[in-house]
Structure formats: C-alpha cells, structure tokens
Structure 1
Amino acid sequence: MKLGARMLKTGVAITVALYVAQLIGLNSATYAGIAAAFAIQPNIYRSFQTMLEQIYANIFGVGIAAMVVFTLGNDPVVIGFTIVIVIGICMTLKMNENTIALAIIAVLAVMETSEMMLLNLAGLRFSALTLGIVSAFLVNMLFLPPRYELRLFKSIDQLTSDILQWLRISTRHLSDDPALRTEIDRIQTELRHIDNTYLLFSEERIYRRKARMPKMRKLIIFRQMIHTSRKSLETLEAFHQYDDKVEHIPKKFQNVLVDELDKIIYSHERLLLSAMGKIKKNPTKSIEEITDPDIPHLVETLIQVYEQDEKERLALLPLASRLMEYHKEILHLQKILNSYQRFHEHLDFNFKKKRRKIMPL
C-alpha cells in the first residue's frame, strides 16, 4: 500500500483538530475530526475556497437546524425535511459533495436528542465543525505543500518517452498489435491525469509580483508540452492504423518516412532535455541541419510514389498530415521555450531530479 501526501495530511488534520478540541475543553471533538476529514484538498487554493464554502455551509446547517428545532421539534420526519431544505440551498449555491455532506452533519449534530440548551448545543457543534475546517486548512498549507510543477514535468517527460519509444518501434514494424493498443489506452488515461495536474498547478496563486510573470510563462510552456505530447500520441495512433499499408509501400518511401520521423522524435527529445538544462541551448548550425525534419519533402515523396496509382495515391496522406501537425507543435514549443530561457535565464524550472547517494561497499 502506497501512502500519498493527501492521506497523510488527512490523518494529521484529524489529529490536530482532536488535540485542539481537547485542549480547549470542547466536548464535540468528534465533529471537529469529521470536519477536518472533509476539508482536505489537493492544493492550497482549493483548500482556502473549500474552507470558506464549508464555513458557509456550516452556518446554514446549524442556523436552519436551530430554527426548525425551535418551531417544529426534532422528530425524524422533521429532521429529514430539514436536510432536504439544506441540500437544496447548498445545490443552489453550487457547493460540492463534501460541503453538502458537512452541512448534513451540521444539521444532525444540532437536531440530535440532548438535554443541553439548544443555543449552547448549536454553538458547540458549530465551533467543533469550524475548528476541524480551519485545522485542515492550516495543515494543508503548512504540512507537505504540493510541488505540482515538478510532478507535472516528470509525468510529461515519462509519458513522452513512452510514446516516442513506441513510435520508433512502430515505424520499424516491430510492435505487437494488442500490446500497442493496450499502451495507447494507458497513455490516454495518463494524459487525463496530466491534464488534472496541470489544472491544480494553474490554480496555485503567486502573490509576489516578480514571480508572477515566470509562473504564467511556465503555464504556457506546460500547456504546449502537453499539447505536443498529445500530437505525438495521435501520430502513434496513425501509424498503428496504417501499419499494414506502410509495410507494403516501396522501400524508398519507407526509408524517408522512418528518417523524417526519427528527426521529429529527436527534436522533441532535445526540447525536453533543453528544458531540464541537460544540453546546450544553442546547438551548432551543422547539427541543426542534420537533425531538423523536412516534412514537405516527405509529403512530396509520398505523392511521387503514388502518381501512377490513382486509387492508392492519397492512402497515406492522413499519416503525413499527422506528422506535419506534430512538427508544427514542436516548432511552437521550441519558440516559447527559447523565449522563456532568454527572458528568465537566471530562473530554473526545478525539473532536475535528486540523485540517490550510492553507499560505498
């Protein structure tokens, strides 16, 4: 079993809420722990938004429950009717499921049978729930703060490496069809996870003016990295779709196709390595001339191959189109990455992984 940061934060938040409740002599410590469990969020911005939202839901739940008990009592039918009203209010305000659940707990906490004075009971329950919400926010902000920038790049780097590896295999007709299909499905799932991580990173707020512009430029670079990886996946899917046709075309075109795709793959890998600071930012011109792909030449070669066969003339043109789109995205990524490195040369992306220390034998 792998323990994630959010699991640890939930446990720490509940512990803090229970300890503080006992320290101040609050009898409803359990409700503080329940509220803390519902309030943990994946980043600080969402944690702050959730804290405000859940405090509002807590006020609605406790306030409405207290008024209903004063007027109608706490019969089970009345409690159910009150919960329906509170859920309706929360849904009207577009609150999330965890907040609605906390509002229901607030209603039940106030309307339960007790010999205590109603206002005193409502105040204690409200204090306990608010304590849990605030404890979760402080733990989320101070304990194991998320590093979505590093996590995002590592995910993009690993996913892109997998795609490019399968591209090399597919162009040489070495891939197993079921295995490739399974890998494509897995990569599509990973891309959705990367999109979610990008969203969490984009929600992080920068309050220092000097750091705000580099963060915005990083967001643009990450977005383009994801878009370029998606285009590489579409190219892989195209090779998977047209594998039989590619295998039976003239050897001349196969060689041109493999050469140009290898150049595109190299260009993509070179940009990722450049972002990590592992290669020179300004390679020599001779190397660029050798490694830069010539997609128009590839398309011309394709058309020349099928000039005498009208039926199959454009059979592989969609594949060439995918390669052109992929190359276009790589050029755009190169442009914005060079721009970032030129304006923020002193700032690091923090992509470098920590090396493990090798213990002497």
Structure 2
Amino acid sequence: MRLGARMLKTGVAITVALYVSHLIGLNSATYAGIAAAFAIQPNIYRSFQTMLEQIYANLFGVGIAAMIVFSLGNDPIVIGFTTVIVIGICMKMRMNENTIALAIIAVLAVMETTEMMLFNFAGLRFAALTLGILAAFIVNMLFLPPKYELRLFKSIDQLTSDILQWLRISTRHLSDDPALRTEIDRIQTELRHIDNTYLLFKEERIYRRKIRMPRLRKLIIFRQMIQTSRKSLETLEAFHQYDDKVEHIPKEFQDVLVDELDKIIYSHERLLLSAMGKIKKNTTRSIEDITDPDLPHLVETLIHVYEKDEKDRLALLPLASRLMEYHKEILHLQKILTSYQRFHEHLDFNFKKKRRKFALL
C-alpha cells in the first residue's frame, strides 16, 4: 500500500482539528475530527469549494435539527424524518456525497440526548464541525500542495513510451497476443487516470496575471499530448486487429508500412523530448527531412499492391487511415508546442524536477 499525500493530509487535518478543539476548550473535538476527514480534497480549488459547501450543509443540518428538536423532540422516528429532510435539501442543492454525510452527522450531533440548553448545544456542535472543515482547508492549502503539472507530464511520457514500444514490436510481428491485449487494457485504464489528473490541473486557479497566459497555453499543450497519445493507442489497437493480414501482404508494403510508422514514432518521441528541453531549438533541416513520414506514399503503395486483387483490395486502408489521423495529431502538437516555446521562451515546463516521494491520490 502506498502512503499517499492525501492520506497524510487527512491525518494531519484531523490532528490539527483535535488540537485546536482542546486548546479553545471545545468539548466536541470528535466531531471536528470527523468533519476534517470529510473535507480533504485532491486540489486547493476543490478544497475551497468543498469548504463553502460543507459549511452551508453544516448550517442546514444544525439549524433544521435544532428547530425540530425544539418543536417535536428527539424521538428516533423524528430523527429519521429530520435526516430525510436534510438529505433532500442537500440533493436539491446538488451537494456531493461527503457533504451530505457531514450534514447527516450534524443532524445526529444536535439531536442526541443532552441536558444542556438546546441552542448552546447546537452552537457547540456547529462550531466543532466548522472548525474541522476549516482545519482541512488550511492543511490542504499549506501541507504538501499538489503539483499536477509535473505529475501529468511524467504520466503522459511513461504511457506514450509504453505505447510506442509496443507499436515497434507489433509492426515486426514479435508481440504476444494475450500480453498485448492485457497491455492495451492497462493503457486504457491509465489514460482515464491521466484524464482525471488533467481535470485536476485544469481546475487549479492562477491569480497572477503574469503567468496566466502561459498556464492556459500549457493546458492546451497537455490536452493535445493526451489526444496524441490516445491516437497512438488507437493505432496500436489497429495493428493488433490487422496483424494477421499485415503478416501475409506483400513484403513491399510491409517495408513501407514499418518505415513510415517508425518515422511517425520518432516524430512523437522528438516532440516529447523537445518539451523536456532535451533537443536543440534550432535543429538541422536534414534530420527533419529524413524522419518526417510520407503517408501519401504509404497509401499509394497500398493501393498499388491491391490493384489486381479484387477480393482483398483496400482491406488495410483503415490501418493507413489510423496512421494518417495519428500523424495529423502529431503535426498539431508540434505547431502549438513551437508556438509556446517561441512566445514563452523564459518560462520552461517544470519537467526537470526530481520525482516526489509521495504519490498524490
């Protein structure tokens, strides 16, 4: 089991909430710890939104519970009825599950049997729950703040490397079919995880005007990197699907297919290395001439191979179409990455930092 930053933050937030409760003499420290546990979020923006939402839910839960206890008492049936009302209000306001759970805790905290004055008791419970929410927000903002930019690029880079490695193996008919199928399923899962990380990175707010525009451009670049990796995966799936047909077509087309795909793979790798600053900005044109793919030539070769074979004519044209789509995404990535490096030469990507010791969950 990995010890993630979110786990540590939850423990620290509960500790802070309990300590502060004892320091100020609040006798409901347990409720402060519970609220802190529910309020931890994966990024600062969501933490702020959750803090506001949970304070509202806490207010509704405590307020409604206090009024019903004052008018109807705290019989178990009444408590259950009050819980249903609070859940309905929270759902009407489209609050998330954690917030609804905290509202229910607020109801139960207020409606338990006590000899204290009702409004004093409700005020103490409200203060305890609010303290826990605020403690979680402060810890989430100051303790191990997430840096999704570095994490996102490392994930994209590793995933792309795996896809391109399997592409090279598949085009030479060296891949094991069950192993490749398992890897494709794993890569699809990793892509969904990367999409979620991108969403968290996108939600982070930038208030400094100077770096707002570079940040927006980075978002565009990351989105295109993910799209390009997705197209490379689709190309790998196409090679897996048409592996038997490719193996039995004339060697002339096989050679052209492997050669053009190698050029596309190299172009993709070259862009990732350029983003990391590992390639000279003024590369020689001769290298680009050698490595730039010629996909129209690939399609013409495919058509020429099957001109006299009506049965299997153009059977592999979908494969060539996937290659063309993949190359199109690479060209778009190259365009926006070049634009970023030209306009924001002094603002490098933060890809050269050391790997963090704790994984953000």
The residue aligned with 2:36 is 36
Per-residue displacement from partner, 1:6-26 (whole Å, max 9, x unpaired)? Answer: 000000000000000000000
The residue aligned with 1:12 is 12
> What is the deviation of 1:280?
1.1
Distance across 2 between alignment mates of 1:127 and 1:306: 78
> What is the deviation of 1:311?
1.5
Per-residue displacement from partner, 1:151-196 (whole Å, max 9, x unpaired)? Answer: 0000000000000000000000000000000000000000000000
Question: Is there any run of 5+ residues in structure 2 with no aligned partner, and where?
Answer: 357-361
The ranges of structure 1 where at least 4 consecutive aligned residues each deviate by more than 3 angstroms after the TM superposition are none
> What is the deviation of 1:352?
1.2
Alignment of 1:81 onto 2:72? no
Per-residue displacement from partner, 1:182-227 (whole Å, max 9, x unpaired)? Answer: 0000000000000000000000000000110000000000000000
The residue aligned with 2:303 is 303
Distance across 2 between alignment mates of 1:9 and 1:275: 32
> What is the deviation of 1:353?
4.0
> What is the deviation of 1:282?
2.5
Taking only aligned residues, the RMSD between alpha carbons, in angstroms, comes to 0.9
The residue aligned with 1:328 is 328
Alignment of 1:161 onto 2:154? no
Distance across 1 between alignment mates of 2:40 and 2:55: 14
The residue aligned with 1:193 is 193
Distance across 2 between alignment mates of 1:325 and 1:43: 34
Distance across 2 between alignment mates of 1:196 and 1:314: 38
Distance across 2 between alignment mates of 1:194 and 1:215: 18
Structure 1 residues 101-116: aligned runs within 5 Å:
101-116=101-116
- Go from structure 1 to structure 2 and tell me whether the alpha carbon gap of 1:355 and 1:196 turns closer, same or farther (over 3 Å shift): closer
The residue aligned with 2:72 is 72
Per-residue displacement from partner, 1:228-256 (whole Å, max 9, x unpaired)? Answer: 00000000000000000000000011000
> What is the deviation of 1:351?
0.5
SS of structure 1 residue aligned to 2:26: coil
The alignment covers a number of residue pairs equal to: 356
SS of structure 1 residue aligned to 2:165: helix
> What is the deviation of 1:355?
8.4
Distance across 2 between alignment mates of 1:18 and 1:92: 32
Distance across 1 between alignment mates of 2:138 and 2:15: 13
Distance across 1 between alignment mates of 2:115 and 2:282: 78
Report which stretch shifted further, 104-113 or 308-317: 308-317
Per-residue displacement from partner, 1:316-345 (whole Å, max 9, x unpaired)? Answer: 000000000000000000000000000000
Distance across 2 between alignment mates of 1:332 and 1:244: 32
Distance across 1 between alignment mates of 2:2 and 2:231: 32
The residue aligned with 1:359 is none
Tell me the TM-score normalized by structure 2: 0.98
SS of structure 1 residue aligned to 2:277: coil
The residue aligned with 2:24 is 24
> What is the deviation of 1:354?
2.6
- Go from structure 1 to structure 2 and tell me whether the alpha carbon gap of 1:10 and 1:313 turns closer, same or farther (over 3 Å shift): same
Q: Which amino acid aligns with 1:128?
A: A
Distance across 2 between alignment mates of 1:215 and 1:288: 29
Structure 1 residues 1-361: aligned runs within 5 Å:
1-354=1-354
Q: Which has the higher contact order (CA 8 A, sep 6+)?
A: 2
Distance across 2 between alignment mates of 1:13 and 1:266: 47
SS of structure 2 residue aligned to 1:10: helix
Distance across 2 between alignment mates of 1:111 and 1:173: 69
Question: Is there any run of 5+ residues in structure 1 with no aligned partner, and where?
Answer: 357-361
> What is the deviation of 1:348?
1.0
Per-residue displacement from partner, 1:90-136 (whole Å, max 9, x unpaired)? Answer: 00000000000000000000000001110000000000000000000
Distance across 2 between alignment mates of 1:166 and 1:87: 50
Q: Which amino acid aligns with 2:149?
A: E
Q: Which amino acid aligns with 2:118?
A: L
